[in-house]
Amino acid sequence: MSVWKLTVRHGPQVVRSEFDDLDEAIAELRRRAEEVRAEGDLEPVSSLRDFAPEQRIHARLEISGKGLLRPPTAGIDVHGDGSMVAFEGGISREPIEAEGEDGVFDAVRACLEETSRR
């Protein structure tokens, strides 16, 4: 039985993968995020208001662990300009402070390790 689940929401597609090891899950998170970023920036959108690429979410990648009530959950949002923001929590997400590209992945790992110990 796997311990970690990676869910990638990219456009209309939702892909789930399972991993026994957090290192494997983080490596796949990084690989999938880089694939999304390699697609290039999103175009601005005008609807009821204007949305610049940095305001749009290109993909949401989330790792969750096992747990009955509140499983450890964290991930990253890849914005339309290629920037990435780390977050913790499933339904109610809170941003995680991270510096640099590698920092978002390190922040996700640290959050998951900490919350899985509780």
Residue 39 CB neighbour total at 10 angstroms? 13
Q: What are the tokens at 91?
A: 């339904």
The three-state DSSP-derived secondary structure of 2-49 is: CCEEEEEEECCEEEEEEECCHHHHHHHHHHHHHHHHHCCCCCCEECCC
Q: What are the tokens at 34?
A: 């880089």
* Confidence grade of residue 19 (pLDDT, cut at 50, 70, 90): very high
**Which domain does 110 fall in, by range?**
4-117
CA dist., res. 25 & res. 73, Å (int): 12
Average pLDDT, the chain: 92
**pTM of the full predicted structure?**
0.90
Could you report the per-residue pLDDT of 68-92, keeping only the tens digit for each? 778 899 999 999 999 999 999 877 8
* Confidence grade of residue 118 (pLDDT, cut at 50, 70, 90): low
CA dist., res. 66 & res. 103, Å (int): 24
* The total number of structural domains that make up the chain: 1
* Confidence grade of residue 1 (pLDDT, cut at 50, 70, 90): low
CA dist., res. 118 & res. 116, Å (int): 6
CA dist., res. 56 & res. 97, Å (int): 20
Q: Compute the average pLDDT of residues 33-39.
A: 96
Q: What is the pLDDT of residue 67?
A: 76
